[in-house]
């Protein structure tokens, strides 16, 4: 299996002291951004990505978010270009990295449509048009496109991808039925939900497998990657004590900053359909609703309970829990998140090193051959 580290690149300074009640003000004005801290944030993450490359990780996962300290990777192409020049085995940007790009595409979150005055009801159509344009640009000699939102005439792309016919494409799935169906129709690998929420994640994988089959494809380990929050310590208690406050900061302050996470509110705004969760088992609907109060009301006691089933603790436990997760889902790739909640740089670098020494070799040697959902679909 392959091991990536997913990096949101959050602003390094914690801003929870600015909260009013449980809410970090949005929009958050420039008075709260220190350019010197911004410089440090980027320098630290570039150093971390260089270390990942030297220590044998398979890749680093980038992202794109705007208008929030949640993530400062407003231009992932720019950051990937910088990383490509510092690394030999991991990074993104196809030509600059000699074919190391894996293109992750996602519809975007409500906040980022609203700041551009784009109705949320248009988001899915716009996303699907953009995907069609991307593939045409990569694969066709000269292409034209006339869509509802975009139009191009006689375009020949320069430069061309190193990887042919185009770089691999992955997409994350939170819960939406239509997103699963779209990914299956186009035979695009997915990252299904959050591994902590096993019931919902299993629902997503099962439905994806069924949709793939309807479109003439069979789900394989190459179709799946999963995310895991990892922290190595001498004990579970130490892991909770050290990493717990940063997970709280992520959930209570950063995760829903200026954003609408609740499915019922997204439905009213046109971002998701009335049928978006039809496939979800009744016992898993609460998790699929993504109520922001479930994030903002978290306590350290909640973190302790969650950590019981997370890859937090000794290196052996981290290794075994991640292997159990990939075996349960059938995923060939794991995206490890080590610096959730703007973990201090020294702690992040220490985790990168510890994981590479004590966990990474066993994970990379592990072979995932079966997707349990495939057997269910076949039955």
pLDDT in tens, 33-63: 999 999 999 999 999 999 999 999 999 999 9
pLDDT in tens, 219-229: 999 999 999 99
| pLDDT (average), residues 264-280 | 96
Q: With pLDDT > 70 as the criterion, what percentage of the chain qualifies?
A: 99
CA–CA gap between residue 84 and residue 98 (Å, rounded):
9
Mean pLDDT lowest among 120-129, 235-244, 367-376: 367-376
pTM above 0.75, yes or no: yes
Nearest to 167 by CA among 188, 198, 145, 197: 188
CB 74 within 8 A of CB 64: yes
What's the pLDDT band for 375 if we cut at 50, 70, 90? confident
CA–CA gap between residue 189 and residue 172 (Å, rounded):
9
Q: Is the pLDDT of residue 215 over 80?
A: yes
| pLDDT (average), residues 360-373 | 96
CA–CA gap between residue 164 and residue 25 (Å, rounded):
45
pLDDT in tens, 282-334: 999 999 999 989 999 999 999 999 999 999 999 999 999 999 999 999 999 99
Residue 91: the pLDDT is: 74
Question: Please, how many CA atoms are within 13 Å of residue 283, restricted to the half-sphere of its CB?
Answer: 6
| pLDDT (average), residues 88-97 | 86
Residue 376: the pLDDT is: 78
| Residue 146, beta-bridge partner list | 151
Task: Record the tokens describing residue 109, joined without a space.
Answer: 């979150």
| pLDDT (average), residues 231-260 | 97
CA–CA gap between residue 39 and residue 117 (Å, rounded):
30
What's the pLDDT band for 379 if we cut at 50, 70, 90? low
User: What is the SS3 assignment for 194?
Assistant: coil
- Which H helix or E strand runs over 83? helix 76-86
Task: Record the tokens describing residue 336, joined without a space.
Answer: 């490890």
- Which H helix or E strand runs over 287? helix 285-289
Question: Please, how many CA atoms are within 13 Å of residue 163, restricted to the half-sphere of its CB?
Answer: 16
Nearest to 6 by CA among 364, 334, 356, 361: 334
Mean pLDDT lowest among 87-96, 154-163, 232-241: 87-96
DSSP 187: T
């Amino acid at each position: 299996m392959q091991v990536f580290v997913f990096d949101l690149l959050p602003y390094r300074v914690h801003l929870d002291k600015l909260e009013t009640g449980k809410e970090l003000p949005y929009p958050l004005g420039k008075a709260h951004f220190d350019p010197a801290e911004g410089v440090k944030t980027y320098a630290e993450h570039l150093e971390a990505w260089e270390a990942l490359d030297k220590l044998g990780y398979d890749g680093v996962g980038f992202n794109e978010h705007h208008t929030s300290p949640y993530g400062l990777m407003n231009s992932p192409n720019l950051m990937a270009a910088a990383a490509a020049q510092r690394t030999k085995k991991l990074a993104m940007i196809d030509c600059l990295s000699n074919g190391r790009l894996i293109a992750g595409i996602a519809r975007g979150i409500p906040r980022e449509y609203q700041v551009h005055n784009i109705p949320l009801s248009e988001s899915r159509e716009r996303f699907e048009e953009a995907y069609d344009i991307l593939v045409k640009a990569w694969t066709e000699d000269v292409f034209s496109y006339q869509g509802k939102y975009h139009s191009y005439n006689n375009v020949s792309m320069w430069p061309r991808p190193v990887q042919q016919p185009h770089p691999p494409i992955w997409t994350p799935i939170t819960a939406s039925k239509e997103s699963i169906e779209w990914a299956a129709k186009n035979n695009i690998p997915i990252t299904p939900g959050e591994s902590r929420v096993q019931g919902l994640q299993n629902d997503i994988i099962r439905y994806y497998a069924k949709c793939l089959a309807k479109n003439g494809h069979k789900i394989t380990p190459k179709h799946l990657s999963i995310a895991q929050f990892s922290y190595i310590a001498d004990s579970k208690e130490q892991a909770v004590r050290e990493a717990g406050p940063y997970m709280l900061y992520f959930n209570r302050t950063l995760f829903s900053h200026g954003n609408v996470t609740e499915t019922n509110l997204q439905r009213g705004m046109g971002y998701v359909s009335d049928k978006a969760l039809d496939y979800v088992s009744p016992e898993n609907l609460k998790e699929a609703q993504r109520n922001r109060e479930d994030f903002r009301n978290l306590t350290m006691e909640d973190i302790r309970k969650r950590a019981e089933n997370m890859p937090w603790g000794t290196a052996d436990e981290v290794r075994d829990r991640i292997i159990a997760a990939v075996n349960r889902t059938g995923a060939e790739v794991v995206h490890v998140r080590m610096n959730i909640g703007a973990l201090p740089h020294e702690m992040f670098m220490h985790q990168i090193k510890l994981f590479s020494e004590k966990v990474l070799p066993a994970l990379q040697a592990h072979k995932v051959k079966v997707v349990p959902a495939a057997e269910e679909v076949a039955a």
